[in-house]
């Protein structure tokens, strides 16, 4: 690889040296003259060197770097290099850089990078970027872009805008997508209020899942006890099994013992099985009078991977 300025090769052993070389006129050319094991390896290495140089130039002189980054976006550079150029522009602090990223996120240029630009606005943007995302959400009819914006809102911590979509979005698909984003945001109280006002089972199932993602075991346990819709109650019981035996094992045992719905009872057993709670299953098997339910419990104990308590109970059955 050749560089201008009389040097046979630009070798950067640090970002500082790269910055010095770039600022003194060292230019990495598109095609190197060295030989590697293959063309792909050579291109990958050249990309790595360009990334080092770009990062150094961005640190030393952002205004000088922005046109170069914009050039990479418009060129036949590798997808990796173009993605990195967009990434660096998002963090640049340059007014021109912000405009470039915002235009891509709005779909005005480089449409193949629109979703990536939306994601980066969520990762690194402040209020200005969140406002841009809000405008994109309001103006686009592309459901996939709207979903990407909702995820960017979640990433940026913009709970208010996600909640507004979860409450007011007319599209059921997008409303459910917004609900999903509220889970990682820890919006437990907001999700609970949404559940109480929601009328569609599909959205309620999404809320149960979002409560699970956010660690809302107490709310899910309440639904497992009080939800009047059998399908939703079974969904809540099933979800309890994913929360760990320390948190919900006793609740699942209680539900099994008290609920009259055979399907709810089976969901409770499945939850205990998922938790590998052999102790609870053995106790329930000992007390169970229904042969079919007891057989279901024994079957689960038989496939618990050599659990000592399960094996002891199975031996007890064999010795009867």
Residue-averaged pLDDT of the chain: 86
The answer to whether 95 and 54 have CB atoms below 8 angstroms apart is: no
- Residue 31: pLDDT band (50, 70, 90) is very low
Residue 311: phi, psi to the nearest 5?
-65, -40
Instruction: Identify the residue with better confidence: 41 or 229.
Output: 229
What average pLDDT does this structure show over 141-151?
A: 98
Is the confidence at residue 16, as pLDDT, over 50? Answer: no
> If you compute the radius of gyration of the chain from its CA atoms, what whole number of angstroms results?
29
Please report, for the chain, the start and end positions of each structural domain, with discontinuous segments joined by +: 216-320
Structure tokens at 90: 């998002």
CATH topology of domain 216-320: 1.25.10
* pTM, rounded to two decimals: 0.77
- Residue 43: pLDDT band (50, 70, 90) is low
Question: Residue 121: beta bridge partners?
Answer: none
The answer to whether 181 and 175 have CB atoms below 8 angstroms apart is: no
pLDDT attached to residue 244:
85
pLDDT tens-digit series, residues 252-290? 999 999 998 999 999 999 999 999 999 999 999 999 999
């Amino acid at each position: 690889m050749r560089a201008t300025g009389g040097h046979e090769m630009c070798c950067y052993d640090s970002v500082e040296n790269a910055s010095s070389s770039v600022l003194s006129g060292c230019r990495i050319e598109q095609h190197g003259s060295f030989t590697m094991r293959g063309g792909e390896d050579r291109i990958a290495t050249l990309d790595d060197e360009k990334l080092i140089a770009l990062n150094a130039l961005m640190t030393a002189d952002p205004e000088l770097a922005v046109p170069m980054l914009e050039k990479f976006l418009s060129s036949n550079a590798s997808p990796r290099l173009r993605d990195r150029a967009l990434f660096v522009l998002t963090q640049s602090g340059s007014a021109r850089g912000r405009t470039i990223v915002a235009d891509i996120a709005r779909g005005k240029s480089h449409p193949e990078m629109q979703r990536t630009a939306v994601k980066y606005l969520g990762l690194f943007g402040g209020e200005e970027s969140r406002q841009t995302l809000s405008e994109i959400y309001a103006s686009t009819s592309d459901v996939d872009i709207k979903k990407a914006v909702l995820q960017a809102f979640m990433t940026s911590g913009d709970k208010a805008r996600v909640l507004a979509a979860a409450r007011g979005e007319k599209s059921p698909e997008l409303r459910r997508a917004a609900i999903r984003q509220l889970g990682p945001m820890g919006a437990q109280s907001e999700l609970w209020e949404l559940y109480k006002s929601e009328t569609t089972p599909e959205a309620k199932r999404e809320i149960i899942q979002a409560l699970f993602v956010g660690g809302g075991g107490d709310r899910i346990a309440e639904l497992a006890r009080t939800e009047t819709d059998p399908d939703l109650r079974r969904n809540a019981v099933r979800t309890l099994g994913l929360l760990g035996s320390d948190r919900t094992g006793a609740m699942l045992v209680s539900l099994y013992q008290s609920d009259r719905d055979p399907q709810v009872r089976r969901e409770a057993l499945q939850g205990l099985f998922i938790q590998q709670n052999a102790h609870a299953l053995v106790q329930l098997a000992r007390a169970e009078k229904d042969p079919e339910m007891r057989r279901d419990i024994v079957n689960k104990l038989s496939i618990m991977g050599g659990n000592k308590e399960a094996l002891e109970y199975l031996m007890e059955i064999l010795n009867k």
